[in-house]
Amino acid sequence: MYYETFGQMNKMLGQLDKWLDAAAAHAKTKSFEPATILGYRLAPDQFAFTRQVQITCDTVKLGASRLTGKEAPSHADTEQTIEELQARVRAVRAYLDGFSAADFAGTATRVVTQPRWEGKTMTGADYFMEHVVPNFYFHLNHAYAILRHVGVPLGKRDYLGALSLQAPS
Amino acid sequence: MYYETFGQMNKMLGQLDKWLDAAAAHAKTKSFEPATILGYRLAPDQFAFTRQVQITCDTVKLGASRLTGKEAPSHADTEQTIEELQARVRAVRAYLDGFSAADFAGTATRVVTQPRWEGKTMTGADYFMEHVVPNFYFHLNHAYAILRHVGVPLGKRDYLGALSLQAPS
């Protein structure tokens, strides 16, 4: 289910791309500078919108990379506009599009680490479940909540995207 | 991975229980009525804190029930205090504690529906991936974000809980 879950996160990044369109349209309607939104945060000691989007992207990108060994694209954290954030989202989506189910063979038992863990490790299974998925949804939802907080017209359908509903048989 | 993911959501509910303790302590420190927090929302057309907690609970409870056929506990949406919300969280955790991996045999191909889908259905696999997990994290994170927004001192460690880190070998 690793491959399928990264597919779902890829889908959610596609929704984030659309929220950014809605944010730009909202700024135009209200006649304010779109980049104003990028500095908003829900608490003074939480990350602002731009950083929430950057970390959403990095969580899934680095997660896929650490769980498969495939090198991830590098991003310099220099985005200043909605369009630049969209370019980052799309770059990560393109990276995720390049995976196949076979890339995740052996993922569960991989040994994963990152600098802040000071030499400690996690299994791939634990890292995926306890770190990648909850962190991805954390930053994605904080980005969404900031947009709702500043008045961008979004609803649950914009969050979830299209569901694979089947017509009554 | 269904069983493991519901285990992770159970863990996150345990964190939510602790955030509610922190919310009560914050209200005491600041000398305001704890229930004041329950009516907060991040946008006028989003659900308030109480409803976010209720839906977090219901998403995982009804998800587990629909994917396994095990009847879920019923809750009347009448919570008026932090303690009552904690009782609901704990009831759902107790329900989730009763599952074993075997309960999820056949989950992927189950036919799932709910009233608002007007007769349409989803496979268990799609319902789990596209609906249960993203909705669970949506309402959980909105609950968290509301607490942060009103000043409750929480951080990423309170969100994620303990990680299964292994010491260097």
Complex prediction ipTM = 0.97
Q: Which two tokens stand for residue B77?
A: 């949406």
Q: Which two tokens stand for residue A161?
A: 């995207």
Write down the pLDDT at residue B169: 72
In contact, B160 and B30? CB cutoff 8 Å: no
In contact, A70 and A102? CB cutoff 8 Å: no
A18-77 per-position pLDDT tens digit: 999 999 999 999 999 999 999 999 999 999 999 999 999 999 999 999 999 999 999 999
Write down the pLDDT at residue B102: 98
Q: Buried b / exposed e across A36-48, counting CB within 10 Å, b at 16+?
A: ebbeebbbeebbe
Predicted TM-score (pTM) of this structure: 0.97
Interface of chain B toward chain A, CB-CB under 8 angstroms: 1, 4-5, 8, 11-12, 42-43, 46, 117, 119-123, 125-126, 129-131, 133-135, 137-138, 141-142, 144-145, 148-149, 151, 156, 159-161, 163-168
Write down the pLDDT at residue B34: 93
Average pLDDT, integer, range A99-107: 97
What residue in B sits closest to A12 (Cα-Cα)?
B134
Q: Which two tokens stand for residue A107?
A: 């993922």
Binary contact (B138, A130; C-beta < 8 A):
no
What residue in A sits closest to B137 (Cα-Cα)?
A137
In contact, B27 and B151? CB cutoff 8 Å: no
Q: What radius of gyration do chain A's Cα atoms show?
A: 17
Write down the pLDDT at residue A130: 98
Write down the pLDDT at residue B111: 96
Burial of A49 (0-12, 13-18, 19+ CB in 10 A): buried
Q: What is the pLDDT along chain B (169 residues), one digit of tens a residue?
A: 999 999 999 999 999 999 999 999 999 999 999 999 999 999 999 999 999 999 999 999 999 999 999 999 999 999 999 999 999 999 999 999 999 999 999 999 999 999 889 999 999 999 999 999 999 999 999 999 999 999 999 999 999 999 999 998 7
